[in-house]
Amino acid sequence: MKKRRAVITGIGVLAPNGNSLVEYWDALIAGKSGIAPIQSFDAENLSVRIAGELSGFNPEDHLDRKEIRKLDPFSIYALVTSQEAISHSGLDQSDVNKERVSVIIGSGVGGIQTLENQHGIFSNRGQRRVSPYFVPKMITNIAAGQIAIHHGFQGPNHTVVSACASGTDAIGSATRTIQYGDADVVVTGGVEASITGLCIAGFANMRALSTRNDDPTGASRPFDADRDGFVLGEGAASIILEEAEHARTRGASILAEVAGYGSTDDAFHITQPSKGGKGAIAAMQHALNDAQLEVEDVDYINAHGTSTPFNDKTESAAITTLFGEHAKKVKVSSTKSMIGHSLGASGALEAAACVQAISHNILPPTINYNTPDPECTLDYVPNTAQEAEVNVAMSNSFGFGGHNGVIVLKRWVE
């Protein structure tokens, strides 16, 4: 049976440096950082006081105040970005068969803000003061559920939880859902709202976070020799994925095709990547095989590139090993340098950047790249966006637990 093709027709974004797809992309190619001192709570007593928070975002511009009270921020982000993506795709919901519309969203920790808040209330004020909305606000699947309820989408509905690979794995799972004929349209992507005191404390005590509190915009510096950890971010990206013939029949503008997906596990360590990036190499190779492409076909890689010492050198080694001579030509950048690491949302935000790179033939830079690391020897598009023809882009995501997710996106060709 001929494999059905999965294409992207709409994107919605909330990111620390832009509250729409256009704002996000303009900020990326301008090298604009969204990392700043934490504003959403008092972080004075924390060792890390910077993060990539959403700026200037007001939920009441998008949702009713009464509805907002029943939603954790991560569900709000998912609802807002999914609506932008649906509008961007031009999907007429009065004509679409909603039984054939699926929702598959990735998130690493779900409604952790609600969990922390309600735990505090329970500890200090007892059971009677705990909100009856506690569980349905907190559970990680509820963002996908809320999108389905909001729009009446009755197809397969799943949530992917694979730490920092969640967003990429969600897009990969959505692609499979299209290919196997279980849906004609999938609302997919990733979402995270995990900037809390407890999350900051946990990551800081692991020594995973940058401590450049006095230099927020310079704190996330992937592949730079002076990197000292990642910066926690938040946000969401929603993507409308369609079966190609479905999109063509309704006259949709096709932005790119999800041509390949690969997934592996290092089976090595809970937080550190396997030596030499063995699992990452396998995931990248699986994605290329699925896309029926060779390494020489890849023009651009949006790297996982977290700005941690182990991850960046291991990912660089993995790319160098797999791509061989082509590693000297392929362009690699980390947009986390501008928005931080938004955990389960990161893969979706980076997929959105890849689609824009294909659409505009512009590569977003890795900012704060000042001192080359002898163990990171690729072309990281340092500090300034570059014009380049981009027909095939790869997006890498690697998560705690050894999860590796890779997708290959390519320019749409009839």
Residues belonging to the active site: 164, 304, 341
Same domain, 339 and 221: no
**Position 290 in a domain:** yes
pLDDT digits (tens, 9 = 90+) for 109-148: 999 999 999 999 999 999 999 999 999 999 999 999 999 9
Q: Is the pLDDT of residue 344 over 90?
A: yes
The domain in which residue 219 lies consists of 7-249
CATH number for 201? 3.40.47.10
Q: Taking CA 9 as the corner, what is the angle to CA 6 and CA 193, rounded to the nearest 5 degrees?
A: 95
Give buried/exposed letters for 144-155 (b at 16+ CB in 10 A, else e): bbbbbebbebeb
pLDDT digits (tens, 9 = 90+) for 156-169: 999 999 999 999 99
Pick the last residue of a domain from 219, 249, 279: 249
Q: Print the SS3 string covering 18-80.
A: ECCHHHHHHHHHCCCCCCEECCCCCCCCCCCCEEECCCCCCHHHCCCHHHHCCCCHHHHHHHH
SS3 186: strand
| Percent of the chain clearing pLDDT 90 (strictly above) | 95
Q: Pick the closest to residue 333 from 364, 291, 354 (CA basis).
A: 364
Residue 20 burial (10 A CB sphere; 0-12, 13-18, 19+): middle
Q: Which helix (H) or strand (E) holds 123?
A: helix 112-125
Output the pLDDT for position 271: 80
Pick the last residue of a domain from 226, 249, 272: 249
Integer Rg of the chain from CA: 20
**Position 204 in a domain:** yes
Specify the number of domains making up the chain.
2
Residue 161 sits at φ, ψ, to 5 deg, of -125, 100
Q: Is the pLDDT of residue 92 over 90?
A: no
